[in-house]
Each structure stands twice: as structure tokens, then as C-alpha cells.
Amino acid sequence: MAKSYKLIVWHLLVAVLVWWMWKAGKSVGFNTVTGVDIQLPSFVAFLLLIAVIVLGYILFRQRRWSASIAGILGISFLMAFGWNWLNLLSVGVVLGFNFWSATRVRREINERRVLNIKDAFYHGLMPVVLGLFVMISFAAYQGPLLNEIKDAQQLPSQAQIFFKQIVEGTVGQKIKAPAEQRNWIINEIASQTLQQINGVMKPYFQYAPPILAFGLFLILWGLSFIFIWLGILVGMILYWILKKTHVVRVEEREVKAEVLVV
């Protein structure tokens, strides 16, 4: 297969995967106030997407392709979440991160006498992952849950379940009462706690969307090492398949090297 056709297939594959990721991942965000909700289809699509993007940077080693890949990511994101200045800003951020990824990959490949594809994936995945995390956080910022918190001026009702679990784990065992009465006491404590927190936080709920969106980014950033290592695993499997099917091959060539002479 000619190189131009391989480039076309790579771009089409990225387009399909990013469309799948946004379609499957529209629910990504806070499932309660306790953390992030990432469902399996969007997780699989994300891993395949980051592996395929970096694999392309490894195979083609031209930084200009970072612009076309970022364009695909950006257009799909804008189509899924709307055309506004905030989303356009996230597209610019992704463009910068992808250019950084392609630069790191190119340097890693060109400065080695022996190819180390695993290291190339490692260096290329981190910027791509962080760029997509920015997009996901911006999408969550515009999501229904965060705006509901802002409009309702209170934490979502699911938060009471969270507080109930805390009460059960701390003082629940110390409540000496029949099971039905004990559950009523625990629910009442959780409800009163939620009301007090809502009262204290009410003036600040208008800032909830950006704060929680940034919190989501920090959560994802904290989990980034998992995505990176899984991305390396998926990428190495894809690279092995390409080698076995003779789509790519490794050749030994003589290269000139600069030597500093004193």
C-alpha cells in the first residue's frame, strides 16, 4: 500500500474513533460528587484513539500531520458540543499538545540508532492524553449536571447517598436502635448535613461549573499514567499487527552522525 493511502486510512481511522468516543462518552463527567464516571465503550474508544494517533506520528514522523489530526479532533468536538469560543479554545489547546506529541516522537525516533517503539509511544502519548483531557473537561463544563448545580443552587440529590455512606461508615455502628429506626436516623443525619452544606455553599454555586470541570481535569490527570501505559500496550499490539501483516517493516540503513571535535 502506498504511503499516501496509508495516510488516508490513518486519518479516517482517527475520525471514526473520535466520533465513537464522543458518541459513547457524552455521559463522561461526575456521576455523583464522589468522582468521575467513565463507561467502558468510551474508555475503549479513548485507548484506541490515543494509540492510533501516536502510532501515526511514529510511522510518518512529520509534525505537519499534527495539524490535520487536531483538525479532525476539533471539528468532531465542535460538532458534538457546539461552536463557541470556549470550545474553540480547547481545539487550540489540542493542536498545541498534538504538535508537542509529534515533535517528541520525531525526536525520539530520529535520535536513536536502534528503534525503540515503546519509548516513542511513551513520549508521544502524554501530550495527546492531556489534550483530550482538556477537551473532556470543557465538555463537562457545559454538561447538564454542572449547570443543574449552578441553577438549582444546591448539590444534586445523589450527594445525600454519599453523605449517608459516610455516616454509616463512621457513626452508623454506634447507633443502638432497631434496623428501621437506625436507617431513619442515618438518613436524617445525611439530609441535615446536605442542607447545612448547601446553606454554606449557596453563594458559591454560580462558580460550580468551572470549579468542578477543573476538578474533573485534575482527577483525569491523576489517572493519566493508567491511560498512558494502557495506550502503550494497545499501541504495541497495533504495531505488532502492522509488522506481521507487512504494512510496515524495519530496515537497517547507514546514517551519518555529527561528531563534536575539539
Confidence class for position 165, pLDDT limits 50, 70, 90: low
SS3 32: strand
Is the pLDDT assigned to residue 52 strictly greater than 90? yes
SS3 255: coil
Q: What is the largest CA-CA distance in the chain?
A: 88
Is the pLDDT assigned to residue 256 strictly greater than 90? no
* Region at 68 (left for phi over 0; alpha for psi -120 to 50; beta for the rest): alpha
Answer with the residue of higher pLDDT: 174 or 39.
Answer: 39
> How far apart are alpha carbons 140 and 145 in whole angstroms?
8
Quick one: pLDDT at residue 60?
Answer: 87
137-152 tens-digit pLDDT:
777 666 555 555 555 5
Counting beta carbons within 10 angstroms of the beta carbon of residue 241, is it exposed (0 to 12), middle (13 to 18) or buried (19 or more)? exposed
pTM over 0.75: no
With CA atoms as reference, report the closest residue to 123 among 110, 98, 105. Answer: 105
Cα 59 vs. chain centroid, distance in angstroms?
23
Cell 446536605, located at residue: 194
SS3 134: helix
Contact 130, 46 (CB under 8 A): no
